Structure 1
């Protein structure tokens, strides 16, 4: 990403503020919003590079914010290991420079996530199949994460289906997102996909992301989380559709 202008920097700051606000209200969504909006301004590869530091810092904070880290990590380590490996493999697609295909895949991922969350009923995973299912879900999540920079499918609906308490679910999501972020950073770095200007902008994006999270946490007590989530998901659905149709317009 070589053409850095003041309007682009302002747009990046506004994007991470909005993404942080969504995470502050819902507990997730920072990479999803950031990749969705930035994908309309810059290449998916550059967008994925920008979200590394804000995603890592905010997710580690979320991961360490509860008392059940070790029990959750012990339960979910097969999923996390498969997630890491899958992300490393999927990142080859993102780093390969096929921006048109990556944009379409990102749009499809956003539409699937938004549509599923809006329409699907809550699933439940029987305990007897969790040891077999967790690595499969982790691998698929990793491949999609590596290819698109979006960490939510199918990890989020799967973790929601495990019957975790609210606090444990927030920590489990933080663990999954942190693993995906670290794996994506390692994968892109090993392929020489990071540039100094991108890392600098990623560091600067921490400020708006943290400010957005703070604003979102304040906003959480003043609006209906259900209403906010529906508006957010409809926005992602439309944004995903626009990204899918972009190559033919």
Structure 2
């Protein structure tokens, strides 16, 4: 178990260091192979939060970013408090299937969406709506992915601004998820600080390595492999859920 957790967070951290996202998606997708989504989300909080802080503050200009995306932030907070979806604390809800669907859909989107429409002129009303859905899905799956990531990519931001904007959305979502897990505990799941640290250090090392090699490989090829991996992982999670129900 320990070796598997270390390997998962090292891989997820490296991917995040290279393209600015992927740590929650990869970590949740792989960890749920050996544990419940609630426990996986609990292990993910500290590594994800610290790596997102790194991503958010590395370039500076955070206040300017908050001023632009304050309604997105507010929407994420509201969505995590009043979610329209069943949450991770609902043991009867197949959150693994919802997470698998999100991973597969995002993988398909990443592979086949070539030119996104520029939605920046609609940002004033789209940001709170997208934020709400992102927050609601975060407390349902443990991952902020759809629709927040495609939305930010559709604003035609510069590469560094996009990475930092993703860091802002991920940081806010992680804080909301941490609060949700704290106030909605599942009694039979034991929280281990040793296991949290077991994921944190490999994630930080992996992110550092990923940032170092970001410009040394073909980003287009790596992204293609990343999205194909998400489709495979999401499909596996969906299949496993179906098998459990049969």
Same fold (TM over 0.5): yes
Q: Which range moved further: 119-128 or 21-30? A: 119-128
TM-score calculated relative to the size of structure 2: 0.92
Question: In structure 2, the residue corresponding to 1:94 is in which secondary structure?
Answer: coil
In structure 2, runs of 5+ residues without a counterpart are: none
Classify 1:54/1:186 alpha carbon distance in 2 versus 1 (closer, same or farther; 3 Å).
same
1:166 counterpart (156, 159, 166): 159
1:8-87 equivalent positions in 2, closer than 5 A:
8-87=1-80
Compute the displacement of 1:165 (Å).
Answer: 1.7
Q: Provide, for residues 44-99 of structure 1, a one-character-per-residue CA deviation record: whole Å limited to 9, x for no partner.
A: 11111100000000001111111321111011111111112212334861112236
Is residue 5–residue 198 contact of structure 2 (8 Å, CA) maintained in 1?
no
Is residue 88–residue 184 contact of structure 1 (8 Å, CA) maintained in 2?
no
In structure 1, runs of 5+ residues without a counterpart are: 1-7
Classify 1:127/1:27 alpha carbon distance in 2 versus 1 (closer, same or farther; 3 Å).
closer
1:1-249 equivalent positions in 2, closer than 5 A:
8-90=1-83, 93-98=87-92, 101-193=94-186, 197-249=191-243
Classify 1:39/1:196 alpha carbon distance in 2 versus 1 (closer, same or farther; 3 Å).
closer
Compute the displacement of 1:196 (Å).
Answer: 5.8
Please identify which structure carries the higher helix content. 1
Count of residues in correspondence between the two structures = 241
Is residue 68–residue 168 contact of structure 1 (8 Å, CA) maintained in 2?
no
CA distance in 1, matches of 2:192, 2:30: 17
CA distance in 1, matches of 2:35, 2:130: 29
CA distance in 1, matches of 2:138, 2:223: 22
